[in-house]
Structure 1
């Protein structure tokens, strides 16, 4: 079941990100950042165990970013990531944010979810502010993808 993360989830969210950042799946985030942005996170949980996470970060009036999408390796290929992405798109629609983008190494996954590849110069200045502080800068190997809620149909969950 997908729910919003709460402050009691922060340490578990942090550990999931830390573990996957060590494998270069996602970028690392300090625990303080998780607490500061806990309202951005959705978690997929069974009982008390979080199996997947995602954050939707509002960048500007017309743009939001999918961040920290991770599914426990033992529970991949079960549709959890797809459901988490769907949740971010539904949340963006509720907030009237028409564009949702991600920087990813998993382009095929996002394309299956309806995202389209774009060039990095199409992304807002805010992203470049974040990118400058990224440990991968300037040698980023992530691909930018976007979902336009005005032009593309949102699948019903």
Structure 2
């Protein structure tokens, strides 16, 4: 079957919620309520195969020159098959369309992001992220995620 990547729509909310909650239960992704997913559905891209949602990712604006990749995940059996890169590429193109020069993520999958053109940076350079989400996170005083950034506009320092 062919895997396609597209903008999410409201009919994807239940499948998105199920996928994200699976990661959240393992402590590797923040949970998202169905209501929050519906409110932010236009920020999500999904991958599907045969009508089944098998991956997702979203962009969240943190400032005029910065967006964050959030909720990047895929169904069991799809890791290592290029699906994550397909979704990240769609998100990067969306960031370019938004004329946003920098894309960041907090991740445990550092090697994946390095292979996709990101570099590791000190997470403290993103106060927008700290004050948006980290202040509410149970790991805020002992965060073990790694910050990565990809600069889309080379005239902007990283």
TM-score by length of 2: 0.91
Q: Deviations over 1:32-63 (max 9, x none)?
A: 11111111100000122011000011111100
Structure 1 runs, 4 residues or longer, greater than 3 Å off: none
SS at match of 2:19: helix
Cα deviation, 1:111-143, whole Å, max 9, x if unaligned, reads: 000101111121133433310111222211100
Match of 1:33 among 22, 26, 36: 36
The CA deviation at 1:24 is 2.1
CA RMSD across the alignment? 1.4
String of CA shifts for 1:12-32, please: whole Å, max 9, x gaps: 100100011112231111221
Aligned pairs, number: 152
Query: Partners of 2:34 and 2:141 in 1: how far apart?
Result: 25
Q: Distance in 2 between matches of 1:63 and 1:79?
A: 25
Structure 1 runs not aligned, ≥5 long: 153-157
Any unmatched runs of 5+ in structure 2? none
